[in-house]
């Protein structure tokens, strides 16, 4: 290890070399007749690298807040570019830290997480070797999914570098700023005519809901808001001034209901139940009951909510006169999304039966179920367990379920080690509740595709793992 002065000299040297290389690249671009757009991108990248190293904590917070605003730009691949950029910045930062003899922070769970991610690359190799149900022509889909998992690991690693530099409560409170853009756009979609909204902000909702915020689709916004309902509940539990947080909780809940995310409604009920299971008191019980009643009443008061509640009665789940075969037949003409899911899962499971051990490969499930007759494209599985089963076989499903269990064990251990009535303990309980509720939601939704949700999920899991001394600098008064 170098001393601080030596580390600073080494850091300056590395930055000087990096900037000199970047400047040389720009000059070469001029000489080669580079397009002005790409030149502008290069200049912006250099400026951001300088800012990232000079103001590391601020830069990371800006990146985390910004991510919730990017999904509406998926058409120009901005979220993918953002993920790749963050990966490169983080790896560059880690390399500089190692070269200058400074400590790169990790924890045991990060190594388990990274091991799971590397294990997923096995299905890319098998796809190349022709050992799966699909051939190598589907390699781009597989690499795209693997890169998403890789980015999750990198985000966890990046947040670990903030340990000791910023108080965890302050960091989580700052993350709440990520709500501003999605909520603002969602309110515009709810109360302004679609004709006066820019095409970029027009909701892309299907099956009745028109509220998607900046997340692209209503379910994506619903999954995202479900997490922040939990976070604001956490702020209510640890703050002395609760009224502002209760008002924010009401606003988020109102928009959450407007997304029409029915599975998320059940997930929120499970979430609230798990949060309050730690210590049941009359006040908590009444508060949770009132909150759930308000959510259900708001959902049932909308035309779309009434339609969804009616649909579920026309499925094998609640109607004994409808079996799976009839539900599949009905799915072709009744516009019932629940029956459509049953039909879709049936065809996916039929396909899985042909390659049950290792499946077809990452990202291949849309090619195996119901097809869109107009576009010819496929649909996501709408069940993450079936998706993993089809794409990675029984082996992959066992690994996936074990990884969910490992997350749960990790969070329970953090809960047990954290002091009683501490913000860290409350956060661990919140995360356990979120893990349970989203594991249930995976039965009928595409939670694994919720990239924005998982970015913030891994940020929170990383923060929860910080030592209790990092949490005890001061108590929350916000």
What per-residue confidence (pLDDT) applies to 1?
40
Last residue within a domain, chosen from 45, 80, 104: 104
Residue 267 CA to residue 434 CA, distance in Å, equals: 8
In a domain, 357, yes or no: no
How many domains, the chain?
A: 2
Q: What SS3 state is found at 419?
A: coil
Q: Do 414 and 451 belong to one domain?
A: yes
In a domain, 306, yes or no: no
What per-residue confidence (pLDDT) applies to 29?
52
In a domain, 360, yes or no: no
The domain of 212 spans 110-259+371-471
Residue 292 token pair: 């759930």
Last residue within a domain, chosen from 60, 79, 104: 104
The reply to whether the predicted model has a pTM over 0.85 is yes
In a domain, 120, yes or no: yes
Q: Do 73 and 134 belong to one domain?
A: no
Q: Do 254 and 401 belong to one domain?
A: yes
Q: Do 217 and 129 belong to one domain?
A: yes
Q: Do 394 and 247 belong to one domain?
A: yes
Residues of the chain with pLDDT under 70: 1-42, 203-209, 277-280, 284, 318, 334, 473-478
The residue among 169, 213, 164 whose CA lies nearest residue 189 is: 213
In a domain, 57, yes or no: yes
In a domain, 330, yes or no: no
Q: Do 215 and 189 belong to one domain?
A: yes
Q: Do 132 and 236 belong to one domain?
A: yes
In a domain, 280, yes or no: no
Q: Do 93 and 227 belong to one domain?
A: no
Q: Do 192 and 91 belong to one domain?
A: no
Q: Alpha helix locations (H) across 32-177?
A: 36-54, 56-66, 78-99, 108-129, 139-160, 168-175
Last residue within a domain, chosen from 104, 128, 163: 104
Residue 58 token pair: 């601020």
Residue 415 to residues 425, 426, 477, Cα–Cα distance (Å): 5, 8, 22
What per-residue confidence (pLDDT) applies to 297?
80
Q: Do 164 and 21 belong to one domain?
A: no
| 13-22 residue pLDDT tens | 555 555 545 5
- For residue 366, give every residue at least 6 positions away whose Cβ sits within 8 Å of its Cβ, in sequence order, or none: 377, 378, 379, 380, 381
Q: Do 147 and 76 belong to one domain?
A: no
Q: Do 381 and 251 belong to one domain?
A: yes
What per-residue confidence (pLDDT) applies to 316?
78
What per-residue confidence (pLDDT) applies to 370?
87
In a domain, 344, yes or no: no
User: How many residues belong to the chain?
Assistant: 478
């Amino acid at each position: 290890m170098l001393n601080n002065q030596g580390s600073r000299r080494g850091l300056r040297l590395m930055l000087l070399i990096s900037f000199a290389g970047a400047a040389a690249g720009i000059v070469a671009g001029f000489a080669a007749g580079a397009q002005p757009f790409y030149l502008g991108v290069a200049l912006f990248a250099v400026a951001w690298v300088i800012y990232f190293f000079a103001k590391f904590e601020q830069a990371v917070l800006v990146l985390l807040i910004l991510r919730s605003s990017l999904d509406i730009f998926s058409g120009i691949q901005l979220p993918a570019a953002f993920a790749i950029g963050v990966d490169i910045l983080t790896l560059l930062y880690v390399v500089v830290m190692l070269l200058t003899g400074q400590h790169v922070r990790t924890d045991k769970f990060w190594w388990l997480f990274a091991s799971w991610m590397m294990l997923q690359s096995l299905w890319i190799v098998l796809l190349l070797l022709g050992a799966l149900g699909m051939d190598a022509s589907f390699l781009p889909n597989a690499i795209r999914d693997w890169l998403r998992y890789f980015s999750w690991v990198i985000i966890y690693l990046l947040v670990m570098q903030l340990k000791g530099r910023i108080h965890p409560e302050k960091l989580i409170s700052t993350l709440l700023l990520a709500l501003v853009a999605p909520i603002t756009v969602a309110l515009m979609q709810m109360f302004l005519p679609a004709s006066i909204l820019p095409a970029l902000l027009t909701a892309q909702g299907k099956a009745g809901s028109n509220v998607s915020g900046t997340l692209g689709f209503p379910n994506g916004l619903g999954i995202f808001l479900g997490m922040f309902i939990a976070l604001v509940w956490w702020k209510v539990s640890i703050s002395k001034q609760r009224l502002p947080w209760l008002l924010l909780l009401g606003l988020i809940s109102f928009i959450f209901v407007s997304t029409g995310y029915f599975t998320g409604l059940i997930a929120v009920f499970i979430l609230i139940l798990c949060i309050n299971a730690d210590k049941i008191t009359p006040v908590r019980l009444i508060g949770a009951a009132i909150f759930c009643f308000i959510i259900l009443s708001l959902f049932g008061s909308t035309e779309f909510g009434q339609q969804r509640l009616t649909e579920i009665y026309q499925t094998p789940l609640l109607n004994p006169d409808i079996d799976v075969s009839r539900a599949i037949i009905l799915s072709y003409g009744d516009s019932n999304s629940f029956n459509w899911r049953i039909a879709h899962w049936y065809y996916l499971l039929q396909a899985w039966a042909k390659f049950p051990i290792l499946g077809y490969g990452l990202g291949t499930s849309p090619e195996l179920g119901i097809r869109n007759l107009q576009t010819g494209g496929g649909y996501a599985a709408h069940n993450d367990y079936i998706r993993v089963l089809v794409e990675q076989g029984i082996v992959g499903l066992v690994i996936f379920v074990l990884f969910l269990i490992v997350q749960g064990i990790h969070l329970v251990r953090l809960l047990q080690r954290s002091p009683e009535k501490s913000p860290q303990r409350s956060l661990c309980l919140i995360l356990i509740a979120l893990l349970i509720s989203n594991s249930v939601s995976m039965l009928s939704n595409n939670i694994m595709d919720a990239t924005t949700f998982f970015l913030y999920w891994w940020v929170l899991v990383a923060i929860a793992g910080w030592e209790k001394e990092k949490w005890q600098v001061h108590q929350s008064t916000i």
